[in-house]
Each structure stands twice: as C-alpha cells, then as structure tokens.
Amino acid sequence: YTAVFWNAAAMAFTHNIAIGASHANLSFDRQIGAVGLIFPVHRNHKIGLSWQGFIINSIPARSSNTAEPDGYFSNVEQTFGLAYSLKIFSFLGLGANLNYFHQSLDQSFAHGFGWNAGAIVRPFSKLKLGLVFYDLQGYLNWETGHRDFFEKKGRLGVSYQLTRNAL
C-alpha cells in the first residue's frame, strides 16, 4: 500500500487489492499518519488512493522574548492523493500521483496541488530499480494571497528480494 506514497509505478506489480494504514506519536507533541489503498482495475492498470497527515500540537506562541508563552497553536498538514500505474512490459511499470495539499497553521489556511511521476524496472525477478520525481509543479496558496512553491526532488532506489515469501 505504500506505493501510492513513494512511487506509484510500484503499484503496477501488485495483483490484489492492498490496504494499509499507519500512525505514530512522535516527540514534542507531533503525530504522523497515512492510509493507502490500491485497486487493480485491469491486469496492467492500477489505481490508488491515499491520505497522509502530519500534526504538531502545542506550539508555543510568543509576542516577545519571554520565558512563558502567550499561548499555543497547531500546525496540520494533509495530502490527499490519487495515483495511477501502468505496466508497459512485464519488467516496466510507470506511475503518477495527483496530490491535493491542505495546511492550517494557527488561524491561517492554505491549499494547493502537485504531482509525482515514477518508473520501476524489474530486469530480474528479484531485482527492482526505481526512479521517482516528487512535487512537480507543487504549490500552496495561502488565504493571505502568498504562494509557496515546493522544491522538486528525485529519488533512485534499488531492492533485491533475498528470501521468498518473507518480510
């Protein structure tokens, strides 16, 4: 199910419906969570849905350099994604995600869009090579009129299956 977040092209190699979720409480009153679903539409076509969230609560707010905060506020970041993958050949999968972003920081709100594109090559049954580009044309429009643009990133990955049917 994590293919919908990290590289949608990997969905091309799934054969069944995949559902997963995770949540973690972190230090400093932070939380992170994710939900992913993959649906095989056809042997070579897969669709995925995803949600990712990150929350920081109890952020101290100060109007001056004081020991005690004037109050507290929160930051909530969420991404809702729609992913598609296509298996071109038995060894090549391509994928893309369209992401909707929403963020609330204290009393301010922002929303925006972005997309990711990736490929997975499986030259041998146990070896996979992946390439993905994140946050292509990604942005957040704040209610104040300010627009934040996301830094584009790329990742290259390699995996090799050492054992059969084991984690």
Q: Please report, rounded to a whole number, the percentage of residues in the chain having pLDDT higher than 90.
A: 91
Q: Please report, rounded to a whole number, the percentage of residues in the chain having pLDDT higher than 70.
A: 99
Residue 166 has a pLDDT of 63
pLDDT above 80 (res 104): yes
Which single residue is written with the structure tokens 């004037």? 70
pLDDT tens figures, 38-85: 999 999 999 999 999 999 999 999 999 999 999 999 999 999 999 999
pLDDT above 80 (res 120): yes
Residue 137 has a pLDDT of 94
Q: What is the mean pLDDT of residues 128-133?
A: 96
The total of other beta-carbon atoms located within 10 Å of residue 17's CB is 11
Instruction: Determine contact, residues 145/35, Cβ cutoff 8 Å.
Output: no
Q: What is the mean pLDDT of residues 123-149?
A: 95
Q: How confident is the model at residue 167 (pLDDT cuts 50, 70, 90)?
A: low
